[in-house]
Structure 1
Amino acid sequence: MLAERRDGTVVRVGGTVAKAHPVDSVPGDLAQRLALAGHPRLRGIVLAPRATGAELGGRAVSVWPYGEPVDRRQAQAAPWEAAAVLLARLHTVPLGEIGGPLPEMRGPAKAARAMARLGALPDSEDARTVRAAWRMLPPWARGEQPYRGRRALCHGDWHLGQLVRHPSPDGPWLLIDVDDLGVGDPAWDLARPAMWFAAGLLPGEAWARFLAAYRAEGGPAVPPAGDPWPQLDVPARALAVQTAAIAVAKAARDGRDLDQAESELLGACARIAQLD
């Protein structure tokens, strides 16, 4: 068992991995995302599935080759540059070359789902802080209105856990987990490390390496030089609120206080809520 969460169950047998996708997946959109993962234009960027179209217990199942994930024990050696290059390559895939119709990137919808999960719990001061920050986001970042800005092919839920090496432990890095893949604002894929940096959870040196590699590869989410924050600000705030909502909900479920990193995220929400 590699993962057993609300958003999917993943098991491995030898060199093969099977994933049962979330029960609330829209079948047509998921089928499009899985087809995109296997598209020749995404070869060398996204890990391609071995088989799709199966179903088990009412959930769609896909089968993949196993890839070696990022070693969480080696944080200093995290492949920030390789990740940035992959995201830039994904974002610069011409949409006209991969057909259509293409699903929308699900990043804002996932943020809204995290807030709904928080709203199902008893009220608390921490929850009120997160909700106050949420209200400061524009409607598109809350998943309430369609996104009308720049459009590119996006991962939709990128973090270091979405990288594997295949076909060998020293092979090239590839993106995995296409449940949120689609067209949207490419800045959303940079928002999590940007948020970590802004909240003091990611060293500035790592953030600088990531951003420089993305720009060097021609990534369109930010200008090639100068201040990236006009493009990153709203998505980074949205990811801070989403992550804090999940943290507060988990802490309430487990009957515990927030840990240090979770408290930093809550502090970020407090600052967002005070912005004019």
Structure 2
Amino acid sequence: MSSADVVRTVGALAHAAAHPASGTDCTCTPPVVLADRPDGTVVRSGTVVAKAHAPGTGGPDFAERLALAAAPALSGVLLPPLPAPHPLPSVDGRPVTLWPYGDPVDPDDHEAAPWEEAAVLLARLHRTAPPASLPAMRGPAKAALAVARLRAAPSAGPARGAVLAAWAALPGWARDEAPAPAPRAGFLCHGDLHLGQLVRHPAPHGPWLLIDLDDAGTGDATWDLARPAAWYAAGLLPGTVWTRFLDAYRAADGPAVAATGDPWPGLDVAARALTVQTAALALAKAAEQGREPDEVERLMTDACARIASLPPELAPPRTS
């Protein structure tokens, strides 16, 4: 099935859920594509969003993650799915889930983004006991996939060596080669936290909630703080914003880092891993598109060079 066919079918499922009695005379706005990537096709119709998950998604692990989103213990933290038939509808072998629409974060204004709200949601998530049947968080697995993509990409220039050297310096658990060591393991983690994983529901003025649990599971809670930590270390996130985020997480009794003092000893490994993942994907995409890395991509590869030259700790954050 072509990408256009997938989008069309997912849109029809969203429309049917949003307007079950509209019939053939419906005059509402056509479905809108919110995302169409290999890891998910997301289409909105009115107040309903339908998502076709990545190829290969399914089975007990997927069912456990979907059930987590509807768990009463996480009400007010996670956006719950809409009722759906069993078994779930599918498109080209990919399961489709239905969700209420929520207003996303403005991706172009990091300082105005809900950093404190995100931190509090993460702290609540991390303090919640995970179900015994929940699978492992997929953060390290996604980092390993990013590095594999870089290895398979066309010539990625001299920065490729620095990224791979930074990857080799990580411990095995951060490269998805072993479980996270105690006491790191066992926390309920989102697994892929970034600003795109937050929406206001009900739109447009409801509370912020976390979405997209395709990578959720048990593991090291520092992974969920690692992307903003990596951005800060690379010079992409202002120190004032990073401090707001970290202080809010600590004030909400988040368990991933110590309540006071230098957070970096706890964050170091996960932040280095997210730096490598981001740089690997950036270089791979640039190589696949036959272009040079842009300024933001170069900042992440420069951070990898600092990591590779100063093991075992992440290089100090940029000051200029």
TM range, smaller chain: over 0.9
Alignment of 1:138-157 (within 5 A): 138-149=171-182, 150=184, 151-157=186-192
- The question of whether the paired residues in 1 share the 8 Å contact of 2:104 and 2:200 is answered with yes
When the two structures are aligned, how many residues end up with a matched partner?
273
Partner of 2:161: 128
What whole-Å deviation, never above 9, does each CA across 1:238-264 have from its counterpart, x for those lacking one? 000000000001111111111111101
Partner-residue secondary structure (3-state), 2:273: helix
- Superposed, 1:209-248 pairs within 5 Å as 209-248=244-283
On the 8 A contact 2:169/2:308 being kept in 1, the answer is yes
CA shift digits 1:147-174 (9 cap, x unpaired): 2222210000001110000012111000
| Alpha-carbon RMSD | 1.1
Is residue 2:95 matched to residue 1:60?
A: yes
Q: Which has the higher contact order (CA 8 A, sep 6+)?
A: 1
C-alpha separation between the residues in 1 aligned to 2:122 and 2:97? 23
Q: Deviations along 1:177-209, whole A, 9 cap, x unmatched?
A: 110011110000000000000111100000000
Give the aligned partner of residue 274 of structure 1: 309
Q: Using the alignment, how far apart are the partners of 1:146 and 1:216 within structure 2?
A: 29
CA contact (8 A) 2:223 2:270 kept: yes
SS of the residue aligned with 1:2?
A: strand
State which of 51, 63, 68 in structure 2 corresponds to 1:19: 51
TM-score (norm 1): 0.96
Higher-Rg member (1/2): 2
Deviations 1:3-50 (A, max 9, x none): 011111101011100111111325221111000001111110000001
Which is worse superposed, 123-132 or 188-197? Answer: 123-132
- Contact 2:123/2:254, CA 8 A, preserved across alignment: yes
CA distance, structure 2, for counterparts of residue 251 and residue 273 of structure 1: 21
SS of aligned partner of 1:119: helix
Amino acid at match of 2:150: L
Does the alignment pair 1:45 with 2:77? yes
Q: Aligned partners of 1:111 and 1:91: how far apart in 2? A: 21
Give structure 1 stretches of 5+ with no counterpart: none
* Partners of 2:229 and 2:275 in 1: CA distance: 10
Aligned equivalent of 2:229, options 194, 204, 223: 194
Could you tell me how far apart the structure 2 residues matched to 1:189 and 1:54 are?
Answer: 30
Q: Distance in 2 between matches of 1:81 and 1:251?
A: 33
* Structure 2 length-normalised TM: 0.83
Q: Could you tell me whether the CA contact under 8 Å between 2:58 and 2:95 is conserved in 1?
A: no
- Report the 3-state secondary structure (helix = DSSP H, G, I; strand = E; otherwise coil) of the residue aligned with 2:179: coil
From 180, 202, 208, the equivalent of 1:167 is 202
Q: Secondary structure in 1 aligned to 2:111? A: helix
**Partner of residue 30, structure 2:** none
The 5 Å alignment of 1:112-123 reads 112-123=144-155
2:76 aligned counterpart, secondary structure:
coil
Q: In the superposition, relative to structure 1, how do residues 274 and 74 fare at CA in structure 2: closer, same or farther (>3 Å)?
A: closer
Answer yes or no: is the 8 Å Cα contact 2:286–2:293 preserved in 1.
yes
Moved more, 11-20 or 250-259: 250-259
